[in-house]
Structure 1
């Protein structure tokens, strides 16, 4: 790998190094932003959106139930009706109750109206259903009357009870049971009155509610029974879990995060007083983070595309930046091949490479001067050698011999000096070459 990298040109090295850096920066930036926005989105949902949606749905439920609750309260606290019942016969009581229920039904449309009376001589249940008044005595042995005795025993002001009876048939109704403010000596309310509502509208409101595509809401009793919800809800599967128990005691809109069958969910709940039940919402995390992840991939694709475009534009720029270096390299190579010390390096760059070229030119000039001196010394040495040859064997001309020997010694000394200078110049040339190499690396 190192050898392959060393064989690459400076431009290619710059291109790959810059490209790798840009890819890493782009990917890390997109991932960081996606993680940041995902965390912010989940926090916003947990702190604001889910509680707000639950409160909004709870308000809609209250608005649907409040008229029925107030009607039941008025009926249960009708002391005039109780007073007249205590002074009437059985037949007169039927007429009184029927007239009262018909009057109430004119102002409030309901499937059924009912009232349970506690009189000294008779405790009786009346129900007006589909235009017909029916009655029966209240008996502990009758399963249809169990609701009455349980409600009286509970001491609650009112309750909402899903039930059927013989008067309403098999249709499941939501009975709003309301007790009167006045009671007998043993604590039994004088009247228990109320309205029986068709659960269809309320059930549809809850089961059809959506938060996103897969966020469901379910209706759960205080004891944990699921009375209304979506078939795809996970509540039935997690009823024995700790999170489910937490949902039934969630006074602070706490968010519970659980994993079920490989999917992560966020759950919360709110207690609806008028309904006396919990509204439980469940939302898959993927439903919430999916759009963010999709945007992340789009941003990553766009970022990489722009990065590739930037790299394509960067390559010519990188080549233009290294062009002076390649020009110096080319001219030095030409001088090396031709051994023409009279040539000089010419570039337009005035920065570091321009200064380097100027120093190399000075080096070439000194080298040329040194070589010229060597050539002149060599010529003088040759001339001295010829004169020695001409005077060889003439021992009587001693003065000429001594002069020639002195000339030769001087030439040899000058040649030694020139060689030393060449050695020094070559060392400078080597240092300059090293500087060029270092500068080449700095360009990268």
Structure 2
């Protein structure tokens, strides 16, 4: 693994780990904040709001029932012997119609007759299971209570009955009166709360028996003390307490948060439930979105880093292998190419040669026209030579005014290349074509770069001495 790969891998790990850690920490803080807000504020507030609505809805029938229990007309009618049933029926129907109740009733303690707003329903009996409520309520001695039961006068519709004792001036029991409110109204109130708050809301009596629930199958059938999950905290919920209290339980893989409030006016418990997982869904979705965006951003940053590193690495590699003035290769690049050419020559018997070129009278150009003009000449010469070479050939700046060509092929092919280069030379500042002397040497077994270039140098100096322009070491 290269250093570059290690650096990019380390950068990727740091970026991804940092972003993931930040996102997870943010999610944890958000989750804990939401949970804290649910337990200490939101759920109790929901319970308080629903309690206010229930209180508002139920206090009117309670007040009307209380007024009936203290009505002198009703008491006089009973003490006068219940002579005209139509009087009480009209009285009950007037109250029912005025306030919009489902039913209004009076049960006489002396005659056991059950009067309601359309007549006499029946005579109650302790042997009738449907009349147990009357004897149980009278036995408690309480002023009033609320009972959920089927209404025989209304085709057994589920009804919330408000029962009040009726007593004469001496405190003797005259009967029980009150009104019945349709369970549909209470269920609608809880369903509206469920839609508004996204929480499960229901009411139980002091024994934990469900009295009002949006699921009708649970009313008067389900005890929270026997229901899996909530049974673990039912005892705490059913303990009367002035303020709302919080509980938690697990059921079917869900963690449920509970706020319970005791309603002393009704002797019922208001229970508000919230699935913690559902409440945290937005936080989880936000975490997923954050991680997705972060992953995309990290990949983009890493990609830009890779492109940038590759760009500057390539640039550095070019600078390390290239003469900055002429753009020709430098000695480092020559060493690498020579090793490759020597390997190919040994393995595949592929000959290669070098040409050393020394510009004639270049010192005079520098001395008379200056180094800037000299540099321009060097760049023009390098460009001209490069245009004559094959892609497999390598042009190297060998010294101040010397160039070297490493090329595939024997010395004879090198001589052809040298003549092609001579023909391509640009004009000197004087207007005459630039001339050069060159030496050619072909690679021999046992040669290294120094020995090969030394033989080419010697051939080049021989050419300068003899004036032959170019000389080949193999012919020496």
Common fold by TM > 0.5: yes
- With 257-266 and 244-253 compared, the bigger mean Cα shift is at 244-253
Question: 5 Å matches for 1:238-387?
Answer: 238=228, 241-249=231-239, 251=241, 252-318=243-309, 334=331
In 2, distance between residues paired with 1:85 and 1:144?
Answer: 24
TM normalised by structure 1 equals 0.62
The residue aligned with 1:193 is: 177
Q: Does residue 15 of the first structure (1) align with residue 8 of the second (2)?
A: yes
Bigger proportion of residues as strand:
2
For each residue in 1:72-117, what CA deviation from the matched residue of structure 2 results, as whole angstroms up to 9, or x when unmatched? 011001134313542x34423x244234324323421222211234
- Are residues 52 and 22 of structure 1, via their aligned partners in 2, closer, same or farther at CA, if it must alter by over 3 Å? same
1:278 shift after superposition? 1.9
Bigger proportion of residues as helix:
1
Gapped regions of structure 1 (runs ≥ 5): 339-444
Q: Does residue 67 of the first structure (1) align with residue 60 of the second (2)?
A: yes
The residue aligned with 2:69 is: 76
Q: Does residue 154 of the first structure (1) align with residue 140 of the second (2)?
A: yes
- Are residues 136 and 250 of structure 1, via their aligned partners in 2, closer, same or farther at CA, if it must alter by over 3 Å? closer
- Are residues 150 and 239 of structure 1, via their aligned partners in 2, closer, same or farther at CA, if it must alter by over 3 Å? farther
1:41 shift after superposition? 0.7
For each residue in 1:119-161, what CA deviation from the matched residue of structure 2 results, as whole angstroms up to 9, or x when unmatched? xxx35444224xx221656654554443233222213221111
User: Structure 2 residue aligned with 1:107, among 98, 101, 115?
Assistant: 98
The residue aligned with 2:116 is: 128
In 2, distance between residues paired with 1:12 and 1:239?
Answer: 54
TM normalised by structure 2 equals 0.59
SS for the counterpart of 2:105 is: strand
SS for the counterpart of 2:194 is: coil
- With 285-294 and 168-177 compared, the bigger mean Cα shift is at 168-177
1:17 shift after superposition? 1.9
For each residue in 1:2-44, what CA deviation from the matched residue of structure 2 results, as whole angstroms up to 9, or x when unmatched? xx3xxx14x4333222222111101100111011101111111
- Are residues 286 and 239 of structure 1, via their aligned partners in 2, closer, same or farther at CA, if it must alter by over 3 Å? closer
- Are residues 287 and 337 of structure 1, via their aligned partners in 2, closer, same or farther at CA, if it must alter by over 3 Å? same
SS for the counterpart of 1:224 is: coil
Question: 5 Å matches for 1:23-102?
Answer: 23-86=16-79, 88-92=80-84, 94-102=85-93
- Are residues 143 and 23 of structure 1, via their aligned partners in 2, closer, same or farther at CA, if it must alter by over 3 Å? closer
- Are residues 208 and 191 of structure 1, via their aligned partners in 2, closer, same or farther at CA, if it must alter by over 3 Å? same
In 2, distance between residues paired with 1:336 and 1:85?
Answer: 123
In 2, distance between residues paired with 1:239 and 1:295?
Answer: 29
CA RMSD of aligned residues (A): 3.5
1:201 shift after superposition? 2.0
What is the aligned length? 322
In 2, distance between residues paired with 1:243 and 1:60?
Answer: 26
Gapped regions of structure 2 (runs ≥ 5): 324-329, 336-476
- Are residues 277 and 214 of structure 1, via their aligned partners in 2, closer, same or farther at CA, if it must alter by over 3 Å? same
In 2, distance between residues paired with 1:107 and 1:248?
Answer: 36
Is this contact kept in 2: 1:257–1:267, CA < 8 A?
Answer: yes
Is this contact kept in 1: 2:203–2:270, CA < 8 A?
Answer: yes
Q: Does residue 177 of the first structure (1) align with residue 163 of the second (2)?
A: yes
Is this contact kept in 2: 1:134–1:167, CA < 8 A?
Answer: no
The residue aligned with 1:347 is: none
- Are residues 207 and 220 of structure 1, via their aligned partners in 2, closer, same or farther at CA, if it must alter by over 3 Å? farther
Greater RCO between the two (CA within 8 Å, min separation 6)? 1
- Are residues 315 and 321 of structure 1, via their aligned partners in 2, closer, same or farther at CA, if it must alter by over 3 Å? same
1:242 shift after superposition? 2.5
